[in-house]
A and B are shown apart, each in its own frame.
Chain A
Amino acid sequence: MTVFQPPAGARDLLPLDVAQKQWIEHHLNAVFARWGYHQIVTSTLERLDMLMAGGAIDPNSVIQLQDPDDGLLGLRPELTASIARAAVTRLTGAAFPQRLYYNTNVFRREPHSRHGRQHEFHQAGVELLGAGGSMADAEILLLLSDCLTALELTGWKVVLGQADLTRSLLGSFPMGLRDRVRAAIAQLDRVALLEMEISEDQRARALALFELRGEPQAVLDKLDRFDLDAGQRQSLAGLAATIETLAASGSGTMLERLVLDLSTIETYDYYTGVVFAIVVETPTGPCVLGKGGRYDDLLGLYHPTGESRPGVGFGLCIEDLQQALQTGDRLPATTCATDWLVAPKTPAARAATHVHARQLRAENPDARVEVALEEIATSADVVSEYARRRRVQHLAWVAADGSVEVEALG
């Protein structure tokens, strides 16, 4: 006999998983809505070149499909590209800034050895499009803080960098070496910096950049002592303004949980301003719950005439949040109990049973009403046992004449 198995990396969500996932999504969506964000739904399937245009996506990490008419397509590995595309092509008449949120599935292929690693994930996040200042950066970080507070998550931290400032500081290295210094800093490879053929002066600069992390004000002070040009001073002022806004907005939570880390940089140019990772300490080690940042050049890539608008946002991984929340008692531990079980006293009462169940549903729109079918309604004992296992609150026995006896369980 053929056994039909799902592909490696696929995962089914059973009712309890779904209940927990919905609990998380419900809380996040409520926060997004409170901040004035509107939900957007984009296509699961996109053209591969569209997904890749931002330069941050490795084509090997995309699950690809060949369409005879459309060419190479991919299942979206993240939402920002799709939202940026939709915003510049479909929201042209709309007033900016646009506040958009999403809550949906994404797909990622593991290019290397990690066989059987999950392929499909669920992500919730926001994009604030058309706003380029430090107030927008602060809004995104404060919104993030509200989200994690709403989930009653403990032990989270945000590692914050400033991509354009770090990139600009790397500009002082000669062309040929710049990418190597950048890769060594991005991958925290201090040994490579020590072994690189650069002048001692340059090495000192690279090592200073490597260690530029810690409590926000201390890092800002250290940066202030760097030999910075006008543009770098401006980036630094923007970063300081964002942090000042966080400090002044009454919500101390975000500032206390912020680690400023100027070595937070990717090896590709995607983020153009703040860039951050949301991290939680779990008993099995720290885990990244999501990422975010500013991408002021992205929208221009999708605009027909290259007109760009600034953008900033973040995405949270629902599965990782669910994992991190397992330690507390906030997530539902069971699926919803059934409020009413309606059982026929005799086989002749089957029709009357459905009639009564319908009446209960009409009277209590929020109640869960299920009917005891032939398999269960064999004897009073079997029905009672079933009701107990399903945590049924009320058991209604229906006779053929329509009369009802109610047993309160619960």
Chain B
Amino acid sequence: MLTIALPKGSLLKDSIKLLQTVGLDFSAFLESGNRQLQITEPTGRAKALLVRAWDVPVYVEFGQAQLGVVGYDVLREKKSKVAQLVDLGFGSCRLSVAVKGSSSYQEPIELPAHGRVASKFVNCARDYFSNLDLPVEIVPLYGSVELGPITGMSEAIVDLVSTGRTLKENGLEEIAVLFESTARLVAHPLSYRLNSSGIAEIVEGLREATLTSAG
């Protein structure tokens, strides 16, 4: 049976709404008090796994799920070997460099050599600064990255920004954008090549639904 990996958190609602357009109903995941991690769709055509966003590409890469919905930011950080089939348009945000508002840094290149940058996106941050030819120490953090510059542990952070409110409220200023991100429909490459469980038809349906909603 077709298995789809869905991300917990901010992308879940839109993902479920999108799948409803091709007749796959996983809204049971949204019911309050839901504790199920795996549900089969009422018509029995597909099942879905509810996993952390960072784990979606893992389930898809190993083929336990043939399809998945996940942000481009996660795909880029994890360098996942999955097929990126559709830009779903929702979940827009950007990965940015931010510093303390009171600091004098206007651009990332002005950061001190061998300074510290805190981030959950260690690979993206490392690639970005290495392209700038600026040697920095990347400090991995898993949440509330904004505290890095506030406490003085790091000169800057590399973090996701959607509205910019969190940064502002914590006295931080965005000085550069690494890349923009949106949710992506991803597939297990081999399953896509073989068209296992009728993936192609579902993908085509989701692509059309995305184009319609964008139009």
Contact = CB atoms under 8 A, between A and B. Distances in A.
Given A285-B63, A285-B64, A286-B63, A191 B191 contact: no
Contacts of B94: none
Nearest to B185: A191
Contacts of B184: 191
Interface stretch (B26-34, B79-87, B95-103, B111-119): B79-87
A15 to B, nearest CB: 30
Interface string A269-281: 0000000010101
A189 interface: yes
Q: Is the interface of B mostly helix, strand, loop or mixed?
A: mixed
A194 interface: yes
B194 A187 contact: no
B190 interface: yes
Q: Is the interface of A mostly helix, strand, loop or mixed?
A: strand
Given A261-B193, A286-B63, A191 B85 contact: yes
Contacts of B195: 214, 259
> Considering residues B81, B189, B190, which has the most beta carbons from chain A within 10 angstroms of its beta carbon?
B190
A99 interface: no
Interface residues of A, number: 24
27 contacts: A159-B193, A187-B83, A188-B83, A188-B193, A189-B83, A189-B84, A190-B84, A190-B85, A191-B84, A191-B85, A191-B184, A214-B195, A259-B193, A259-B195, A261-B193, A263-B193, A264-B193, A279-B190, A279-B194, A281-B194, A284-B64, A285-B62, A285-B64, A285-B66, A285-B188, A285-B191, A286-B194
Given A195-B87, A285-B63, 11 more contacts: A159-B194, A188-B84, A188-B189, A189-B83, A189-B84, A191-B85, A191-B86, A191-B184, A264-B193, A286-B63, A286-B196
Interface of A: 157, 159, 187-192, 194-195, 213-214, 259, 261, 263-264, 277, 279, 281, 284-288
Interface of B: 62-64, 66, 81, 83-87, 184, 187-196
